[in-house]
A and B are shown apart, each in its own frame.
Chain A
């Protein structure tokens, strides 16, 4: 394979503690190597440019049935934005729910190389994998949802953590999943009765277990299985005024817990899109930011990580396995609503949403997302996301970076809000003069996410031996002054190397790369009880047979990459 030498760039790598120094990066056989190991490289001149590892997105909804429902029921999302086939690129379209091709191209143009699908209904794992297979360039993995799964609810109700772990091991292997996702634990199951769980101590109907027990039990199972990623939580009471208390209650469940794994992961819990969970007040009239209280906890407890879920003030499509929340949303905005129940496992809803700069609450939400990042003491534990597409499309990350890196840019946006003064008085943003550095941005977008995913041995840094995923941005940190340059440069990578191959050159996609699909194979001791339970549930309740449930690697996946864990001890 080709050898490359990326010369003279300003390198930002929190893992190697390189903060803008000019360091040459050498690539050979798809890996990053010492520059002495290459003989006849193609030299890429990165003088005056920023060099980082390929971006790693820990949470986005980019594949699977609810994404596809969004595509199907929002033809207007594709109106006037189709791009015809060109070069290696296939036809692409869609704004908030882009086609799989546009998803791959746009991420690559932002210098991202790894993207995790944040919620996979196990029953539709095949569909999710088919979409990931067709998403070019990106290495991907998907998190099956467990927080409302009947097996999990029953085992945890009976305090059978070992059985829950054996079931999780079976399900991860069967669906080729990557991590344990929990969405509105118990609440989505309660939605089957037209109910919800609004706090972590609300009992789930019929199952007689609380969200707190579900989350804690799944954490215990996760650590018993020694999985690369921690449990990945979207807790109860999302998007409601006053919900920061539920969020803090959730965080506190894990206080003092220790991680158990061989992947360098230091957290026992990742909480996603915290922006949606940081609201004070008790109605939409007096809703206010509680980002300070949330970040106060996060900063003082280093056994957890989180991502932001920044509102980008766009028209977008919300989609979540939090079925009751989507119903709540359609009652608010009266736009079209799709809802589905996934048998024994989960549910989902989809509603279009317009985060309008003319609506006070939208302005407050926008401010909270940014505040969380600006109040973070450890950027290796707080990650940039928009919960794509829920708070905004992923290709707004460069805009979020601009707001985080420039107080002028966010004040300009604040002034452009219709209710700027009301937003200012309900939030802290205008009082925060911190401007994030590229070093911190690199932590929040690649080094930190790779570590939290247990993938720091592959991604997130330019350390020799890691995958040669390298992004070069046309951004000179020594001379750039206009914040607009941040958005432009980080949305149009000058170069992107993926597995040692150039996939983006001067902002254009020139190769479809060689994607991998990551999944976790956690071996546990044979558990006849769980095997019997699985067989019985398929016979009695599922609409498919067990044989038609498994994801066959050859059929449904492209370059499956198995990460083995031995949890038999």
Chain B
């Protein structure tokens, strides 16, 4: 595995769109070539080298390429967008759209990420040591095909609207979440280790949401079914199972109606 190190230098005046910071774009390139890749600052096209010191070189393929960003990139969007393999480590915090539409590989952010991280994710792993903003693992605006597969793990808290239109994959938030969790979900798993607020599973027709802490207001479209003993993300506990959202259309499988499921830990 070859490593490319990006060290932030001048902070950009505007937020920059850096969809080229991916193992796929870097693969097969030298440090100088990587520094020449384009980024957008406002409506201007600039080069990566204007904002980062680039050291090391990339491997021939994305899978064999690791990118380490040394420091905070809170004004850099789209890190790891649509990446298919390899690894990215951000040693500070990053802005919006980290790992958006990623299809494979790993991203680890040691600080926080802002909104829309993991949007429309199709595979791979995204791990955030700090907190995540709103719309974590949600669908792109207007799309009914949200996160399809892959895993997102946030060690801190997450904002509102996570997992909107989720179709598959797993989102684990070890802290608390804000309102609107798994809205419109048609699959996938959301695990909240901390507390939830309200509007959890609204319009969900399929998929599972596990909440370890409190839920301020349960959606009226959910019905309590039974207690179940489960092991979730390495923890064994007893959960209350709710099914819903009863206000929605639900499909059938082998004669059984499929519902969205909310498990709340006792």
A residues within 8 Å of B by Cβ?
A: 73-77, 79, 334-336
A335 proximity list for chain B (CB < 8 A)? 144
Nearest chain B CB to A75 CB, angstrom units: 4
Q: Which residue of B lies closest to A77 (CB)?
A: B142
Nearest chain B CB to A331 CB, angstrom units: 10
- Are B144 and A74 neighbours in the complex by a CB distance under 8 Å? no
* B226 in contact (CB, < 8 A): no
With contacts A76-B143, A334-B249 known, what are 14 further pairs, Cβ within 8 A? A73-B142, A74-B142, A75-B140, A75-B141, A75-B142, A75-B143, A76-B140, A76-B141, A76-B142, A77-B142, A79-B140, A79-B143, A335-B144, A336-B144
Q: Which residue of A lies closest to B251 (CB)?
A: A334
CA distance A334 to B144 in the complex (A): 10
4 closest residue pairs by CB, A with B: A76-B143, A75-B142, A76-B142, A75-B141
CA distance A75 to B141 in the complex (A): 6
Q: Which residue of B lies closest to A335 (CB)?
A: B144
CA distance A191 to B249 in the complex (A): 23
CA distance A73 to B144 in the complex (A): 12
CA distance A15 to B140 in the complex (A): 50
Nearest chain B CB to A159 CB, angstrom units: 47
Q: Which residues of B (108-145) have their CB < 8 Å from a CB of A?
A: 140-144
CA distance A76 to B142 in the complex (A): 6
CA distance A335 to B165 in the complex (A): 12
Interface residues of B, dominant DSSP? loop
CA distance A459 to B249 in the complex (A): 51
Nearest chain B CB to A319 CB, angstrom units: 15
Nearest chain B CB to A197 CB, angstrom units: 27
B140 proximity list for chain A (CB < 8 A)? 75-76, 79
A79 proximity list for chain B (CB < 8 A)? 140, 143
A334 proximity list for chain B (CB < 8 A)? 249
Nearest chain A CB to B252 CB, angstrom units: 14
Q: Which residue of B lies closest to A78 (CB)?
A: B142
A75 proximity list for chain B (CB < 8 A)? 140-143
Most buried by A among B141, B142, B143, B249: B142
User: Can you list 12 A-B pairs with a CB-CB distance of less than 8 A?
Assistant: A73-B142, A74-B142, A75-B140, A75-B141, A75-B143, A76-B140, A76-B141, A77-B142, A79-B140, A79-B143, A335-B144, A336-B144
Q: Which residue of A lies closest to B139 (CB)?
A: A76
CA distance A75 to B140 in the complex (A): 8
Q: Which residue of B lies closest to A336 (CB)?
A: B144
Nearest chain B CB to A78 CB, angstrom units: 9
A336 proximity list for chain B (CB < 8 A)? 144
CA distance A335 to B249 in the complex (A): 12
Nearest chain A CB to B139 CB, angstrom units: 8
CA distance A77 to B142 in the complex (A): 9
Nearest chain A CB to B99 CB, angstrom units: 16
Nearest chain A CB to B206 CB, angstrom units: 13
Nearest chain B CB to A32 CB, angstrom units: 42
Q: Which residues of B (138-173) have their CB < 8 Å from a CB of A?
A: 140-144
B144 proximity list for chain A (CB < 8 A)? 335-336
Nearest chain A CB to B68 CB, angstrom units: 27
CA distance A336 to B144 in the complex (A): 8
CA distance A287 to B111 in the complex (A): 57
Q: Which residues of B (162-212) have their CB < 8 Å from a CB of A?
A: none
CA distance A70 to B117 in the complex (A): 26
Q: Which residue of B lies closest to A75 (CB)?
A: B142
CA distance A415 to B162 in the complex (A): 41
Nearest chain A CB to B254 CB, angstrom units: 21
B141 proximity list for chain A (CB < 8 A)? 75-76
CA distance A76 to B141 in the complex (A): 7
Nearest chain B CB to A106 CB, angstrom units: 22
Nearest chain A CB to B4 CB, angstrom units: 25
CA distance A79 to B142 in the complex (A): 10
Nearest chain A CB to B65 CB, angstrom units: 22
CA distance A91 to B170 in the complex (A): 37
B142 proximity list for chain A (CB < 8 A)? 73-77
CA distance A336 to B140 in the complex (A): 14
Most buried by B among A73, A334, A335, A336: A334
CA distance A65 to B249 in the complex (A): 30
A74 proximity list for chain B (CB < 8 A)? 142
B249 proximity list for chain A (CB < 8 A)? 334
CA distance A335 to B141 in the complex (A): 14
CA distance A74 to B145 in the complex (A): 12
Nearest chain A CB to B207 CB, angstrom units: 16
Nearest chain A CB to B257 CB, angstrom units: 16
CA distance A335 to B140 in the complex (A): 15
Nearest chain A CB to B177 CB, angstrom units: 25
A76 proximity list for chain B (CB < 8 A)? 140-143
Most buried by B among A73, A74, A76, A336: A76
- When each residue 37-66 of chain B gets 1 if its CB lies under 8 Å from chain A and 0 otherwise, what string results? 000000000000000000000000000000
